[in-house]
Amino acid sequence: MTLAHTLGYPRIGANRELKKATEAYWKGDIDRKALEATGAELRARHWQSQRDAGLDWVTVGDFAFYDQVLNVSMLLGAVPKRFASGDGEVDLDTSFRMARGRAPTGHPAAACEMTKYFDTNYHYLVPELYAGQSFQLTSERLFDEVDEAIGAGHPVKVSLLGPLTWLWLGKAKDEGLDRLSLLDAILPVYDEILDRLSSQGVDWVQLDEPALVQDLSQDWKQAFESAYNQLQSAPVKRLLTTYFGGLGDNLQLAVGLPVDGLHIDAVRDPEQLPRVIDNLSPYKVLSVGAIDGRNIWRADLAALQDSLSDAKSRLGERLWLAPSCSLLHVPVDVETEAKLDGELKSWLSFARQKLDEVVTLSHLLDGRQTVEDESRLDAAIKALDARRSSARIHKVAVTERMKAICDADAQRPAPYAERVKAQRRVLDLPLFPTTTIGSFPQTNEIRTARRDFKTGKLGQTDYEERMRAEIADAVSRQERLGLDLLVHGEAERNDMVEYFGELLEGFAFTQYGWVQSYGSRCVKPPIIFGDVSRPTPMTVRWSEFAQAQTNKPMKGMLTGPVTILQWSFVRDDQLRETTCRQVALALRDEVADLEAAGISAIQIDEPALREGLPLRQAQWPSYLDWAVTCFRLSASVARNETQIHTHMCYSEFNDIIASIAALDADVITIETSRSDMELLDAFQDFQYPNEIGPGVYDIHSPNIPEVSWMVQLVEKAAERIPADRLWVNPDCGLKTRAWAEVEPALANMVEAALELRRRHA
């Protein structure tokens, strides 16, 4: 029998129950007992969904109140000293202080660094690693959850981030520290964890090691062998789990490790399947990730049945089936989408439906399909045929415009050295100019107005009047604070990608398609199902109104083509590069219209540029070539006098600094406050040619930064970047913060800029 399972399930809840309860706890509206009760209810519901679908295991250990990597840090006792509250179990509030810098109990402290989890839009809390660091089991949460699931009568498979990938994701905080030097101190704790799980009755533990799909040096490969040799005596069966790509040159390493089973991603790299089977020991099971855990398109069950038939005949009952990765990266249930048109909805599969696809595929391979399985297979065939032939996907005008693109379309009229002179005459900004990244607090009043507008309680005229009032208020606050380059605050925008997708052709939207980005932050990615074009201007009238409220320059705000691509569910019937170019041309029209409306600075955000980078370096040049070209296509229509900004956050991009420079943005703003300007190390050896705003205010923490701290950060930056090319700005947009936090923080930021001007005058 082919076993069916999943590597993980969305934890936020179909109605974002986890987000709402967590934020209520942070605000003091509910106590910890109520928060824990919400977590328990969600876990029970999600386990039952897995059993109802017919999975052979429920997966335990994938739940987190903030982040699964942070969970492992807590489990190992890897808590930086600034958060420690003595020996013993590390409590939930400690994890919140590590993530946010603040919790309902305990003293505030600088939050841990946050960055993207491999090539996803999910953010994890970076483990801090120190020389001589000790580790011990300091959390009972995983074991309690196992007891919950077993007590509910479920067969349990535990999901646990593997020791090597946890180290891989960590950052050495002591100069010269080799992260692998800590492995011997970590492994005894993993041994203890596996022993405890066995004593609870757990048979299988899924050890996630996605680091195996990346380029590994020889010392890391040897560390995998050493670690898993030490862990092989554990009294549980171990499923070594890889995802987000193929094993490549690590295939022999992975299949040779002393574990009981291996999971591979057969969506990202289906060609590796026969090679893995050829080299797999006869006692090991092979879990094939056949259903796409990263995208929302319905699976071609008939094609998968055919492509996996050889694997089934060779492996027999040693074949397991699962999604390619955790379903954390997709929405919960497409059946809740009452407003999607029937044809488009029939093309989609969310987490709940992907469980059904895994189970049906396992039944088809075994020849034990039910009437329900036959019905699903028939529905999939019909939906896929309809999608391939649908007239709503391909647009002749878009195709013709794509053919007309030439190299000159991706070039500004003059180099930066000439442009900057014209821009400084137009903008007339001081040394160390201050600005923000774009968004201001989305207050309850703004959210209520948007909700009432969408439900029809508020007419369009009244809604737009309220948004203009919010914009005028944001402009007035910025003027009082003394900021130099203003923004309109984005009151009218629900999300930096969703807003644009709603105004572009080729996009569709869900009501409840929420996906966790980090902590309590959820996004609702658009669905790009067809050719992309811009019917009408999207932002011009809001920027024009904002500019009319002030004599200071106003910055137009756009989301870049690569980020719109990365943060959407993208059609899988053409190259991603092609879709990105279509988006870039739509944004190019918007840049031209903003400029014509008198907007002299335009920001095209690309926080996802680094995120889209392939996990293997050999594939970087191709991606970076088209990604940079797409950005330049969107921006290069601007005149020399128009200052083009871009923004990047929460990504390690030192290794692609040359490509970032190739974007040729006049100003780039980046996240640096959490990393204490470590991201600027790239500028030691690379002479960045344009202007840069290293973030001095960590907007993901409610803590208000001190003037001296911000001055110190910019002075560090000035050691690498000439002062006349430095800006002063927050790390990211401010929509998730409250005005009571934002205004004093920005006041301190402006004061820091004044002090810097005095020092460098």
Residues that are catalytic: 700
CA nearest neighbour of 561 among 614, 501, 617 = 501
Tokens at 331, concatenated: 């929405």
Continuous segment of H or E residues that includes residue 240:
strand 237-241
Give the number of other Cβ atoms within 10 Å of residue 34's Cβ.
12
**How far is 614 from 593, CA to CA, in rounded Å?**
34
CA nearest neighbour of 629 among 584, 586, 668 = 584
Q: Show the beta-strand stretches assigned E in 476-578.
A: 486-487, 505-508, 515-518, 521-523, 527-533, 554-559, 569-570
Residue type, 438: G
- Is there a contact between 605 and 563 (Cβ–Cβ < 8 Å)? yes
- Is there a contact between 439 and 735 (Cβ–Cβ < 8 Å)? yes
Residue that has been written with the tokens 């959490």 in this structure? 674
- Is there a contact between 351 and 327 (Cβ–Cβ < 8 Å)? yes
Tokens at 517, concatenated: 């980005």
Residue that has been written with the tokens 């605000």 in this structure? 27
**How far is 507 from 499, CA to CA, in rounded Å?**
11
Residue 228 has φ and ψ, to the nearest 5°, of -75, -25
Q: What is the largest CA-CA distance in the chain?
A: 79
**How far is 496 from 541, CA to CA, in rounded Å?**
17
Give just the sign of the alpha carbon dihedral 584, 590, 593, 597: negative
**How far is 123 from 113, CA to CA, in rounded Å?**
10
DSSP string across 450-471:
HHHHHHTSS-HHHHHHHHHHHH
- Is there a contact between 170 and 179 (Cβ–Cβ < 8 Å)? yes
- Is there a contact between 160 and 143 (Cβ–Cβ < 8 Å)? no
Residue 611's Cβ-count burial label (10 Å; 0-12, 13-18, 19+) is buried
Residue type, 450: R
**How far is 364 from 344, CA to CA, in rounded Å?**
26
**How far is 104 from 108, CA to CA, in rounded Å?**
10
**How far is 114 from 100, CA to CA, in rounded Å?**
10
Residue 237's Cβ-count burial label (10 Å; 0-12, 13-18, 19+) is middle
Return contacts of 612-621, CB within 8 angstroms, 24+ apart. 612/119, 612/562, 612/565, 612/566, 613/119, 613/656, 614/119, 614/245, 615/118, 615/119, 615/213, 615/214, 615/244, 615/245, 616/213, 616/214, 616/215, 616/245, 616/248, 617/215, 620/656
Q: Where are the alpha helices (DSSP H) in 428-536?
A: 444-455, 460-481, 498-501
Give the torsion through C-alpha atoms of 320, 322, 324, 329, to 10 deg.
-160
DSSP 8-state class, residue 647: E
Give the number of other Cβ atoms within 10 Å of residue 742's Cβ.
21
Continuous segment of H or E residues that includes residue 344:
helix 342-346
- Cα 29 to Cα 20, 32, 35, 433, 541: the distances in Å are 11, 10, 10, 40, 39
